[in-house]
Chain A
Amino acid sequence: MASVMRPGLLRQSFASPAASQRVFSTFTSSAARQSSPLIQQLRPAFARDAVPKATRIAAFHATQRQQILPPLPQKIEGSVNTAVPVPNPDYSHGSYHWSFERLLAAGLVPLTVAPFAAGTLNPLTDSILCALLVLHSHIGFESCIIDYFPEKRIPKLRVAAHWALRIATVGLGVALYSFETNDVGITELVARLWHA
């Protein structure tokens, strides 16, 4: 029950006696005292209709209890008749970034297919594949963070997410490096798993 996790809400829920009954529903298992919904379904239809709706089987929900980023009141920068501010050109985050991202993706395609198509596993291509994979996944996740963590709403969370991503990328790089040097390498891993 929500009020257990948020003590402030507990007081309000106690205001209504029905609510306070529900707060302790799991402890006193009042639901078990009334027949469980599963048993109710087994009853004949006329008995089922006699049971109040609130105790019938509830659909199983797993939705969020509260909105994640609820919309703020509308705010217009400047007046209605001025243009949206045009940001300064930033090539490294604009077209260069996009071009590099597409080059990586294009380069990954032959690198992924070739070792398995050729049958032979060259450690050099393997290591290039690992490097490109690390970069590709980093750029991909960075794009997700920029999309879903708006800087103006949750600046700290966004910075935290970026740093978590950087740490994860470095970790991935180290892990793949050790896997390549000390162990078989990822293409060999996939080949073995495939034929295992």
Chain B
Amino acid sequence: MASTRALCRLATSRTAAVRPAVFARGFASVSDTKARDPISKAGEALAPDASRAPIPESKTSTVKEAAPTKDAKMKTFHIYRWNPDEPTSKPKMQSYELDLNKTGPMMLDALIRIKNEIDPTLTFRRSCREGICGSCAMNIDGVNTLACLCRIPTEEKKESRIYPLPHMYIVKDLVPDMTIFYKQYRSVKPYLQRSTPAPDGREYRQTKEDRKKLDGLYECILCACCSTSCPSYWWNQEEYLGPAVLLQSYRWIADSRDEKRAERQDALNNSMSLYRCHTILNCSRTCPKGLNPALAIAEIKKSMAFT
């Protein structure tokens, strides 16, 4: 139907002046492969932009183990790489082949081995290697977890993909910029706020039942896996606080020793800070510590409803 297409294009060329580029959908094509190249390709030739999809693994090299043995269990890892020293370069997927027999069981072991023996330029955060510090949070095979707690699947045929936390600005390779996350955490005033002293002048005490209410809230390590798995947080990162910060906000709202419950609730009482949560539940699904941020958010909403 080339004639219909031609007529369509003639018609749309008239309205091109008043139609914003955002609405200019391309026409689909079966035979002409070059026609499907996005306009961004021409635009990139003029003004390269680092913030777009990385060069896929089919177009980049594979770095292999130095001295493979005969019964080596080789597994391929595709890791997101971007170098801020070349800010206009596209991010790319670098492939590494590792012998699983020489590597520890967790993804972090694989990353450390790559950095030590194969490619020292690979950059990632890590600290405790036991899932308590929250530094090594990254997106592994589509799931936001801690690399030190994520076992390497032993099937050699499956190729693992390691990306940084989704929809965050990237400092380098797998290191996201957590600035806004920490600023949001600071904004909920995550400390005990009390104007009256303790009744007998000693510690601020609470009953065992009250202390039990904090279980599942205080264990949060602020790894940001949940917040960066939330689509609402992706689209409204500046205004929506995200499940991690809301969980911590509830930790203080639910604390019986805290006296500023009303102020904490008022801080959340606007259209964006709390109520962009639409119970997508990605957060609870992905929490590497097994916490339930969605439940905490529901409890906050319940405590604020009809009051």
Chain A positions within 8 Å of B, measured between CB atoms, are 1-2, 4-7, 9, 12-13, 19, 22, 25-27, 29, 31-32, 36-37, 54-55, 57-58, 60-68, 70-71, 74, 76, 78, 80, 82-91, 93-95, 97-99, 102, 143, 146-148, 150, 152
A70–B51 contact, CB under 8 A?
A: yes
> Which residues of chain A are near B183, meaning CB under 8 Å?
76, 78, 80, 82-84
Name A's interface SS.
loop
Q: Determine the residue in chain A with the shortest Cβ distance to B15.
A: A5
* Chain A nearest Cβ from B9, distance in angstroms: 5
B24–A5 contact, CB under 8 A?
A: yes
A9–B39 contact, CB under 8 A?
A: yes
> Which residues of chain A are near B232, meaning CB under 8 Å?
147
Given contacts A87-B270, A90-B270, A150-B235, contact A6 B305 (CB under 8 A): no
* Chain B nearest Cβ from A52, distance in angstroms: 11
**Complex Cα distance A5/B13, Å?**
5
Given contacts A94-B268, A102-B305, contact A64 B25 (CB under 8 A): yes
A2–B187 contact, CB under 8 A?
A: no
A94–B31 contact, CB under 8 A?
A: no
> Which residues of chain B are near A29, meaning CB under 8 Å?
2
Q: Determine the residue in chain A with the shortest Cβ distance to B36.
A: A61
**Complex Cα distance A70/B39, Å?**
14
Given contacts A143-B278, A147-B232, contact A80 B35 (CB under 8 A): no
B67 at interface (Cβ–Cβ under 8 A)?
A: no
Q: List 30 A-B contacts (CB under 8 A).
A: A2-B39, A4-B9, A4-B13, A5-B9, A5-B24, A7-B13, A12-B42, A13-B42, A31-B32, A32-B2, A37-B30, A55-B31, A57-B30, A58-B29, A58-B31, A61-B36, A66-B39, A67-B40, A67-B52, A71-B169, A76-B183, A82-B186, A84-B186, A84-B187, A89-B267, A90-B269, A91-B269, A95-B269, A97-B271, A98-B304
B28–A60 contact, CB under 8 A?
A: yes
B301 at interface (Cβ–Cβ under 8 A)?
A: yes
* Chain A nearest Cβ from B227, distance in angstroms: 13
* Chain A nearest Cβ from B199, distance in angstroms: 31
Most A CB contacts (10 A, CB to CB) among B6, B29, B169, B232 go to: B29
**Complex Cα distance A32/B26, Å?**
21
B184 at interface (Cβ–Cβ under 8 A)?
A: yes
| Residue tally, chain B, CB below 8 Å to A | 60
**Complex Cα distance A58/B36, Å?**
9
> Which residues of chain A are near B267, meaning CB under 8 Å?
86, 89
B22 at interface (Cβ–Cβ under 8 A)?
A: yes
A147–B235 contact, CB under 8 A?
A: yes
Contact with A along B24-59 (1 / 0, CB 8 A): 111011111111101110100000010110000000
B30's partner among A13, A60, A85, A102 (CB-CB below 8 A) is: A60
* Chain B nearest Cβ from A141, distance in angstroms: 13
> Which residues of chain B are near A66, meaning CB under 8 Å?
21-22, 38-40
Query: Top 10 closest A-B pairs, CB basis?
Result: A94-B269, A83-B187, A83-B186, A93-B271, A65-B26, A89-B266, A58-B33, A95-B304, A84-B187, A89-B269
* Chain A nearest Cβ from B118, distance in angstroms: 31
**Complex Cα distance A62/B33, Å?**
12
**Complex Cα distance A90/B273, Å?**
11
B33–A54 contact, CB under 8 A?
A: yes
A94–B270 contact, CB under 8 A?
A: yes
Most B CB contacts (10 A, CB to CB) among A26, A68, A76 go to: A26
B213 at interface (Cβ–Cβ under 8 A)?
A: no
Q: Which B residues, 204 to 244, have Cβ-Cβ distances below 8 Å to chain A?
A: 232, 235-236, 238, 241
**Complex Cα distance A27/B4, Å?**
11
B257 at interface (Cβ–Cβ under 8 A)?
A: no
* Chain A nearest Cβ from B119, distance in angstroms: 27
B31–A31 contact, CB under 8 A?
A: yes
